[in-house]
Amino acid sequence: MSIFKARVKEFEDVLAGPQDLIDLKQLRKLAFNGVPDVQSFRALSWKLLLGYLGPRRSSWTTTLAQKRALYKQFIEELVLPPGHSSNRASVDGGDGDKVDSGGVGLQDHPLSEGPESAWNTFFNDNEFLLQIDKDVRRLCPDISFFQQPTDYPCEIVVHSKGEHGRRLHERVVPAVLSSANVERKGLGMTKINLITKRSVENYAAMEEGQEAHWEVVQRILFIYAKLNPGQGYVQGMNEIVGPIYYVMASDPDLTYRAHAEADCFFCFTALMSEIRDFFIKTLDDAEGGIKFMMARLSNMLKSKDLSIYELLRSQELHPQYYSFRWLTLLLSQEFPLPDVLRIWDSVFADEQRFDFLIKICCSMILIQKEAILENDFASNVKLLQNYPPIDINVVIAHAGSLA
């Protein structure tokens, strides 16, 4: 039996064996060395390692049904425009008559600026939605996956029946001036009627009834931001959710793939609960903050190779110039997507979670020792900000050798 087949058999024994209780310790051990890119191994392993699914297989059906139903509710309440039939309710009109909240009342009028106005919230959301829209459109540009249509579009969103705003990108597509009609009556003020049309350049989206994978990711990030107003959306979260969604939406098991959006959302939320401090500036100096993590990397480099540490210090090449992005985005920007997935297998399997991430970052520097010691400041910045192509298994093996 080949080594690969033997590893597949080990994963089958853990994930698809007759026992009800998954041996998480054994799964971590196996996943740490990389999850075979076959069957549903990676998607299922990540769901378990991130805590979305519990170790008892018998609980999965109930957990998945409840979570997916909850996510559908999030879409209806947070994504669909105010007054949509799915988020209407019968309310007391004050004189005993029942009024459909889908009708336009004082608070529900689109021009209402009251703090309780659903429309006011709707328009305010567009501020961070614009940033999400920009970011998801450049997800993993080296592959076409995110521009491709999903086989499982969100039905209540893509069948808009002419209703504007169900598809999030429609809310923030910029308008361009098409023409202006000038009217002048007598000695009064000149009246200019501006006629705008939607800009279609670089904003191609799917036709009615379809949606691209990037649109699904946009919705996931929008809902996350709505449910976490204290944090909201921070640029870079798109790079965290992208690989998770790719794994879920590429699951060979179509019964799972059909629910990639909901499953990705909860896996992403679980991961963000661990790294959210990276994205909150006021917590930079906290133990889980990004400055603390960069200091740990710097101290590890100092202990492993003083010559590199001293050179970078003498060049005033501070860790934030390169390791801020490495750590915050879990190396998702430094390597091709398949390599990122391999790195994340180990990171998610690490019970200490980010200890091994720091070791990988340290190894990335140590492996380039010869070039770093010869380079000047500018060349080293370029090297560390645009890490050269390398066999990712070499980096991971090196990291595994660090005490």
For position 173, what pLDDT does the model report?
66
Interhelix angle 3-15/41-49, rounded to 10 degrees, is 50
Task: Tell me the CB-side half-sphere exposure of residue 119, using CA atoms within 13 A.
Answer: 16
pTM for this model (two decimals): 0.85
Q: Beta strands 98-100 and 90-92: pairing type?
A: antiparallel
High-pLDDT (> 70) share of the chain, %? 79
Domains of the chain: 60-81+116-172+211-273 (no CATH), 281-401 (1.10.472.80)
Contacts of 235 (CB under 8 A, 6+ apart): 131, 135
Question: What is the separation of C-alpha 43 from the centre of its chain, rounded to a whole number of angstroms?
Answer: 15
Confidence of residue 14 (pLDDT cuts 50, 70, 90): very high
In the structure, how many helices (H) and strands (E) does the chain have? 19, 4
How open is the CA angle 174-177-180, to the nearest 5 degrees?
Answer: 150
Angle between helices 392-401 and 337-349 (to 10 degrees): 20
Q: Say whether pLDDT at 90 is over 60.
A: no
Contact 248, 203 (CB under 8 A): no
Could you report the per-residue pLDDT of 173-231, keeping only the tens digit for each? Answer: 654 444 445 554 444 444 444 443 444 334 357 788 899 999 999 999 999 999 999 88
What does DSSP say about strands 90-92 and 191-198: parallel, antiparallel, or unpaired? unpaired
Lowest average pLDDT, out of 6-10, 46-50, 101-105, 376-380, goes to: 101-105
- Which of 267, 247, 265, 266 has the alpha carbon at shortest distance from 257? 247
For residue 206, give the DSSP letter. P
pLDDT for 114-135, tens place per residue?
Answer: 555 566 676 678 888 999 999 9
pLDDT computed for residue 286 by the predictor: 66
Which sign does the torsion angle of CA 133, 139, 145, 150 carry? negative
Question: Which 3-state string (H, E, C) describes 95-136?
Answer: CCCEEECCCCCCCCCCCCCCCCCHHHHHHHHHHHHHHHHHHH
Cα distance between residue 113 and residue 106, in whole Å: 10
pLDDT at 344 over 90: yes
Q: Residues 302-331: what's their mean pLDDT? A: 96
The angle that helices 237-249 and 213-227 make with each other, rounded to 10 degrees, is 130
